[in-house]
């Protein structure tokens, strides 16, 4: 029987011999990991970690293939390279399909005469400057300066920020919030016109409405006329003085009609062309005349016209003037005043004399007073006061 040579082994994945398990040059194998070990001096080493080549007629399985910088962990067959991995190696077929699809996408349905770089170069007359010139004629997405007008037609420019320079475009919201509409509105600040004018305003209707010169002139006359009238008035009225002036307030000669108020006499004086005289009205009691007192008057007096004058009359004098009495005497004698002498008086009742005046009597009381029956008889009664 042939002799078998067995080496130390283990079927536990991850198990490795220690320095005490094997001698130098002795072999040990891990059947689960497919790894071979030996001992060099006092160190256990794994054999075949970095062989110069591996030849196998079957399938070689690995954890990671690495050149020291890049580690490959898997092979993939992805036509779209969806995993986008730095550790997966694509197959030749997937690489070819991905490149062809990318070229097709790049061409984007270009005609056959312009789907290669050579055809594109020929179309540009083999001059790269043509491309630069074409690109230079476009506005970059990052912005730039237009050399011509942009005709928007019915389209809009949207998403504008608030302007900072005078030539910046603005949004509708910015204009609405910072401008006064032509239809009118309320300003939030002062309007400084400087040397400019606000024109074409309508006639004012409220107290704080703005008005215009023509409206003011139509009411008060022109400012020139008003100033002239004031100057003329200043030359006529000399204001309050303690003595008669010899010239007007402007130093000019006095003229007939000039006025001044004498503060000592408490009287108004008028100049007649040669001298000053107290202003007075013609006496009388008709229209345009000045009524004067013919006699004195006291507090609480009444006024009575006496010819062309007025005079004061006391209450007693007024009673005497009108033939009246200073006090009334109540009773039922001649010249006495009659008063109601009854606690209550009702509508449709009759009056009967008492010692002090009149009392109220109902129809039944009147019938009883005169001793007449109230049925089948007609009674007429009249009371006459004389």
Same domain, 227 and 261: yes
Residues 79 and 33 in one domain: no
87 occurs within a structural domain: yes
Name the DSSP class of 123: H
Give the model's confidence band at 54: pLDDT under 50 very low, under 70 low, under 90 confident, else very high.
low
User: 3-class SS at 172?
Assistant: helix
> How many Cβ atoms sit within 10 Å of the Cβ of residue 244?
14
Residues 260 and 316 in one domain: no
Q: 291 and 336 in one domain?
A: no
Q: Please tell me whether residues 303 and 355 are part of one structural domain.
A: no
* Winning range, highest mean pLDDT, from 77-91, 216-230, 328-342: 77-91
Please, are residues 123 and 115 in contact by the beta-carbon 8 Å criterion?
Answer: no
Answer yes or no: is 368 within a domain: yes
Q: Do 230 and 250 reside in the same domain of the chain? A: yes
User: How many domains does one find in the chain?
Assistant: 5
Is the same domain home to 85 and 96? yes
In tens, the pLDDT along 102-112 reads 888 877 777 87
- 233 belongs to a structural domain: yes
Per-residue confidence (pLDDT) for residue 134, from 0 to 100: 73
132-174 pLDDT per residue, tens? 777 777 888 888 888 888 888 999 988 888 999 988 889 988 8
Listed in order, strand segments (DSSP E) in the chain are 8-10, 28-30, 35-40, 43-47, 65-66, 71-72, 74-76, 88-90, 237-241, 259-262, 267-271, 276-278, 292-293, 302-306, 309-313, 339-340, 350-353, 357-361
Q: Measured in Å, how far apart are the chain's first and last C-alpha atoms?
A: 188
User: Which pLDDT value is given to residue 275?
Assistant: 92
pLDDT-derived band at 97, boundaries 50, 70, 90: very high
Half-sphere exposure of 5 (CA within 13 A, CB side): 3
Task: Confirm whether 358 is domain-assigned.
Answer: yes
pLDDT tops 60 at residue 36:
yes
| 252 domain residue, yes or no | yes
Count of CB atoms within 10 A of residue 204's CB? 13
Amino acid 377: pLDDT = 46
Domain match, 4 and 36 both: yes
Sign of the C-alpha dihedral, residues 244, 250, 251, 256? negative
3-state DSSP call for residue 97?
Answer: helix
The pLDDT assigned to 93 comes to 92
Average pLDDT over residues 247-261: 87
Residue 47: how many other CB atoms lie within 10 Å: 12
Q: Please state, for a pLDDT cut of 70, what percent of the chain lies above it.
A: 89
In a domain, 218, yes or no: yes
DSSP 260-329: EEETTTTEEEEE-SSSEEE----BSSSTT-B-EESS---TTPEEEEETTEEEEE-HHHHHHHHT--SS--
Alpha-carbon distance 341 to 356, whole Å?
Answer: 6
Q: Residue 197's pLDDT band (boundaries 50, 70, 90)?
A: confident
Regarding whether 333 and 385 lie in a shared domain, the answer is: yes
Please indicate, yes or no, whether residues 332 and 315 belong to a single structural domain of this protein.
no
Q: Is residue 244 part of a domain?
A: yes
- Measured CA to CA, the distance from residue 188 to residue 162 in angstroms comes to 19
E strands present in 326-377: 339-340, 350-353, 357-361
* Residue-level length of the chain: 386
Q: Does residue 23 lie within any of the structural domains?
A: yes
Domain carrying residue 291: 286-327
Tens-digit pLDDT profile for residues 59-69: 777 777 777 78
Using the 3D structure, point to which of 58, 87, 110 is the last residue of a domain.
110
């Amino acid at each position: 029987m042939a002799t078998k040579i067995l080496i130390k082994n283990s079927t536990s994945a991850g198990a490795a011999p220690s320095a005490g398990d094997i001698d130098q040059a002795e072999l040990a194998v891990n059947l689960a990991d497919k790894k071979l070990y030996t001992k060099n001096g006092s160190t256990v080493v794994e054999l075949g970690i970095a062989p110069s080549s591996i030849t196998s007629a079957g399938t070689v399985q690995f954890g990671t293939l690495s050149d020291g910088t890049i580690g490959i962990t898997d092979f993939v067959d992805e036509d779209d390279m969806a995993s986008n991995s730095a550790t997966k190696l694509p197959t030749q077929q997937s690489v070819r399909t991905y490149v062809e699809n990318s070229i097709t996408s790049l061409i984007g349905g270009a005609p056959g005469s312009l789907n290669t770089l050579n055809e594109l170069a020929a179309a540009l007359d083999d001059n790269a400057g043509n491309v630069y010139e074409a690109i230079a004629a476009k506005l970059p997405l990052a912005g730039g300066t237009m050399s011509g007008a942009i005709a928007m037609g019915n389209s809009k420019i949207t998403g504008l920020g608030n302007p900072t320079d005078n030539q910046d475009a603005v949004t509708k919201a910015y204009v609405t919030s910072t401008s006064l509409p032509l239809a009118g509105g309320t300003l939030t600040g002062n309007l400084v016109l400087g040397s400019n004018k606000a024109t074409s305003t309508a006639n004012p209707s409220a107290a704080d409405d703005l008005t215009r010169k023509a409206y003011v002139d139509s009411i008060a006359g022109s400012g020139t006329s008003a100033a002239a009238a004031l100057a003329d008035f200043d030359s006529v009225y000399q204001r309050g003085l303690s003595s008669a002036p010899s010239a007007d307030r402007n130093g000019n000669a006095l003229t007939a009609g000039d006025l001044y108020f004498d503060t000592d006499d408490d009287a108004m004086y008028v100049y007649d062309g040669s001298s000053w005289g107290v202003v007075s009205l013609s006496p009388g009691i008709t229209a345009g005349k000045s009524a004067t007192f013919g006699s004195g008057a006291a507090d609480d007096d009444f006024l009575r016209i006496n010819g062309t004058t007025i005079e004061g009359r006391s209450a007693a004098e007024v009673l005497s003037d009108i033939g009246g009495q200073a006090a009334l005497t109540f009773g039922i004698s001649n010249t006495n005043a009659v008063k109601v002498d009854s606690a209550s008086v009702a509508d449709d009742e009759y009056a009967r004399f008492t010692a002090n005046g009149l009392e109220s009597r109902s129809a039944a009381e009147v019938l009883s007073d005169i001793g007449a029956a109230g049925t089948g008889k007609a009674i007429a009664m009249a009371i006459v006061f004389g």
